[in-house]
Structure 1
Amino acid sequence: MTVEPRIRQVKREIRTLGVVAKRYKDGGSLIIGVVFRGGLYLDGVLKATTHDPDITNTMVEMIKSSPHYPQIRVLILHEALIDEEVRIDPSQLYNEVKRPLILLSDGDFEGEHRPPINVLEVELGGKTVKVIPLGLRGREAEKILMVTTRDGALPEPIRVADLISSALICLDEQKI
């Protein structure tokens, strides 16, 4: 039996990594990770690309090779911001990166992204978001989401990662 790492206290400046994946027109994937301290300060940006439709191994390599890896306490993914043509295995990501993971969705979890565990509902910015915590208790996941969310229903690391990835995809399409 493995013992999951506990987060004893959710501090105001807990370092989280929000990850977003988008597709290039050529079929490759752009993976952007943003390290935030709470919902306050951007500490770093991670980037990787791959042509493999299963991006799990690329994400693991990107995260573990980052100079920010030792400080990252929790990973946050949002199902709507992982392109539908891309596959990711949240359980494998959690097991290989050895960090708790919070998977968010605006609706029901579907297909590849849904590990076989209970789904919680959390209120963020007046909107109900579905949450699957891996390596965290539901209450810990909820506290982390409250600390990392400023306005709206997206935690800052996810919101900023989405902005950066959208800008990079746009620049690539315009060949700037």
Structure 2
Amino acid sequence: MSSDFHIKPEIRILGIDDSALLNEKIMIVGTVFRGGDWIDGILRSDITRDGLDATEVIGTMIKNSRHYSQLRIVMLDGITYGGFNVVDIEELYRKTGLPVIVIMRSYPDLEKIRSALRRFSDGELRWDMIKKAGKIEKLVTKKNRTPIYIQKVGIGAKSAEKIVCLTSIRSNIPEPLRVAHLIATGIIFGESRGKA
């Protein structure tokens, strides 16, 4: 069920990214933002590299946060974390009651992903979770003409576009995700790196 709703400039958004794949346990970092301007908090947890616990861990991290009651949207940097630990965005939406917007810098090579999943005994289950995430839509933010791609659940297209545009301040990537990336890489490497 997707819906469009009134979007306040200071809508509370949780952006989640993962750290580098250095160990079996992969750190995930969430940043709580008011719109795209103000960071209110940071969350962290750990998922299993190439595991199947990302949906459960992220859902629990959100529900156990003191920010939970104020959050209106969850943004994910892609649908896979810690290698091929796929987030079931429909289940995450059901578990938290929060709409989910998945942001991708480029259109995913689905055939390459499907091929990589063949090495897992439960590869078909993971592939089904990826397919179930729904249509991949192209979006151009007002700040940058380079398109990004989104998937969504629990929110209508117009609202999703407004929220992404509202929070894409310094690049075409929304601030909650850009900052989560900087924090996650900075903690692991001692200094942030990579494209945020």
Deviation track 1:26-84 (CA, whole Å, cap 9, x = no partner) reads 21110110000000100000001133612111111111000000000000112188343
Q: CA RMSD in A?
A: 2.1
* 1:26-105 correspondence runs (5 A): 26-51=23-48, 53-54=51-52, 55-79=54-78, 82-105=81-104
Report the equivalent of 1:143. Answer: 162
Given the two structures, how large is their TM-score scaled by the length of structure 1? 0.86
1:163 maps to 182
Q: Does the 8 A contact of 2:47 with 2:82 survive in 1?
A: no
- Give 5+ residue unaligned stretches, structure 2: 111-126, 191-196
Q: 1:109 to 1:17 in 2, by over 3 A?
A: farther
Q: Which has the higher strand share?
A: 1
Q: Is the 8 A contact 2:55 2:87 kept in 1?
A: yes
* Length, aligned pairs only: 168
CA contact (8 A) 1:21 1:82 kept: yes
Deviates more, 1:95-104 or 1:23-32: 23-32
Residue among 7, 10, 13 paired with 1:10: 7
Query: Are the equivalent residues in 2 in contact too, given 1:7–1:140 (CA < 8 A)?
Result: yes
Identity %: 27
Change in 2 beyond 3 A, CA 1:165/1:49: same
Alpha carbons 2:88, 2:133 under 8 Å: kept: no
| Secondary structure of 1:159 counterpart | helix
Summarize deviations over 1:75-121 as a string: whole Å, max 9, x none.
Answer: 01121883433322112111111100101222137444442522221
